[in-house]
Amino acid sequence: MSDDPHVRTTVLIVDDHAPFRAAARRMLEADGFEVVGEAGDAASGLRLARDLSPDLVLLDVVLPDLSGFEVADRLADEPPAVVLVSSRDRADFGRRLRDSPALGFVSKDRLSGRRLRALQARSR
């Protein structure tokens, strides 16, 4: 991750819902992010996270093979910062969210470049 505004933050989107991936990619790219990859399940998400070394992983909580919490646990010791996303809200996950090593949580409908940057800034 770079502080240089001309160096775009690289993002990997892991979500089993293709329309969301497409919409999120367009929105983030419009907001100056570089979406370097998309994955529809946890296994390929984990693989791409290691192969592509993105700055951020947008990780859906509900995936067909593993839950987003488990994926976040596995990525805890690796460079990409994980932001969990879901169409449900924070209150629906309770303590699992609190206990997760993920950088943060954003409801999908409130996803924006501004929020991601705020989370990134907070982690520094």
Residues in contact with another protein by CB under 8 A are 17, 19-20, 22-24, 26-27, 30-31, 87-89, 91-96, 107-113
- Based on CB atoms, which residue is closest to another protein, 107 or 120? 107
Q: Give the type of residue at 97.
A: L
Helix runs in the chain, H state only: 18-30, 42-52, 68-74, 94-99, 113-123
Q: Nearest approach, Cβ of 123 to another protein (angstroms)?
A: 23
Strands 56-60 and 10-14: parallel
Q: Nearest approach, Cβ of 28 to another protein (angstroms)?
A: 9
Strands 56-60 and 104-107: unpaired
- Based on CB atoms, which residue is closest to another protein, 6 or 124? 6
- Based on CB atoms, which residue is closest to another protein, 22 or 51? 22
| Token pair belonging to 109 | 């409908």
Q: Nearest approach, Cβ of 79 to another protein (angstroms)?
A: 26
